[in-house]
Amino acid sequence: MTVFSPRLRLSTVYLGGFIGPFTGQAIAAILPSVSRTYGISVAQASMGITMYLAPFALTMLFSSALVKDLALHRVIRWAYVVITPAAVLQAFGQKWAVFLALCAVMGVCNAFTTPLFQIILKSVVPADRLGTALGTYAAMQSLGLLSAPLVAGFLAENFSWQYIYLIVAVLSGWVLLVGAPYASFSHRQSAQGERMRWGSTMVFLLTCFVIGLCVVGEGFMVALFVGDFFGLTPSAVGVVVALGGAAGFLFVRLIGRQADRRGPVPVLIVANVVGAFAMGVIPFAPVVAVAAAGWALAVLAGQGMQMSINMLVLRSPGGASLISTVQAFRFIGVAVAPVVFLPLYLSHPVAAFSMCCGALLVAALVNVGLARWGGVAVKQ
């Protein structure tokens, strides 16, 4: 059997960070094409997104705890043993019910790979470079979110939108072939004699919910705003929304370096405040460029907040078994954002953005209090 180098195995972690969001967003921008292929309505076609994200978020609530006694690289291997053929079936399948079932299966599998890849980084990367590594992982996630609609649109116009799943199959097959770095929960995951910090964990959990609810999940509201107030075409609106993913891809690694140098707590609080400012600026933007810059800055701040929380949780006693639970609340926030904010936006757009700003400021204050009185070290 071929033995791959540790560096090559480490690269599969970052590739895995790309594959998950790329798969989840594969059909988000091409719902009319999906509806034509299967002879269904666009509303029915949107169920493909729900059938991926709902099992993904629910499984994330307990996935890392469920496999805490297993070798992480083996769990990831079995996940891709399922994902690779499932993607091939999606590329050539002709039945809508089968497609939906495969979306759910892939969502469940990626609910294991997403947190486990980050736990592996905690195990194999030197402690003083963990922030940079997690920032790189987040950048690859942003690249997956950014590129999926572009690739799917190109394939839908020139070939078949289903071929996007052949890309997923090839990338997943490569991860399966090379394998993830060897790691387990028992390797440098907790400090002996320390108890799990439930108070700080709850704060991080709620902060992740705010990230999803008030930043990441607000792409729909930003799209409506720039379309309504600046009269942009659908393609131009797509470019504005995509700038958020582009900002994350280009700059979140730099935020990770600052977390290594200054500690994740200051980075978390600063990113929190910056995100609140950026969301508050958007509804008062005099030109579309200011609104686009505000959205890009808000998404980048949200990525910085999430990366800092991941770093804090992974470094805390017993945190590795809770990392998926904490991250799951970000996706729950994304899922409920339209329900919470769309009615308010339709009647009072400024109030909707102001609520996002206010919630982020409250989260910042809570995290300041946690840093000052909650026993979370600034340089943890």
* Residue 123: per-residue pLDDT: 85
* Residue 192: per-residue pLDDT: 45
Coil, strand or helix at 240: helix
pLDDT per residue over 52-102, tens digit each?
888 998 898 888 888 888 888 899 999 999 999 999 999 998 899 999 999
* Residue 318: per-residue pLDDT: 72
Beta strands in the chain (DSSP E): none
**Domain covering 198-373, topology:** Growth Hormone; Chain: A; (1.20.1250)
* Residue 193: per-residue pLDDT: 45
Largest CA distance in the chain: 63
* Residue 299: per-residue pLDDT: 93
Looking at residues 112-128, what average pLDDT do you find? Answer: 89
Residue of higher predicted confidence among 355 and 339 = 355
Residue of higher predicted confidence among 373 and 341 = 341
pLDDT per residue over 183-220, tens digit each?
776 544 444 445 556 678 889 999 999 999 999 888 88
Instruction: Give the count of beta carbons closer than 10 Å to the beta carbon of residue 162.
Output: 21
Rounded Cα gap, residues 35 and 53, in angstroms: 19
Looking at residues 19-41, what average pLDDT do you find? Answer: 85
pLDDT beyond 90 at 131: no
* Residue 197: per-residue pLDDT: 66
* Residue 376: per-residue pLDDT: 55
In one letter, which amino acid is 375?
A: G
Domain ranges of the chain: 6-178, 198-373
pTM for the whole structure: 0.82
Looking at residues 114-132, what average pLDDT do you find? Answer: 88
* Residue 1: per-residue pLDDT: 45
For the chain, what is the mean pLDDT? Answer: 86
Architecture of domain 6-178: Up-down Bundle (1.20)
Rounded Cα gap, residues 53 and 108, in angstroms: 9
* Residue 187: per-residue pLDDT: 45
Domains 6-178 and 198-373 share a fold: yes
Nearest to 308 by CA among 237, 257, 249: 257
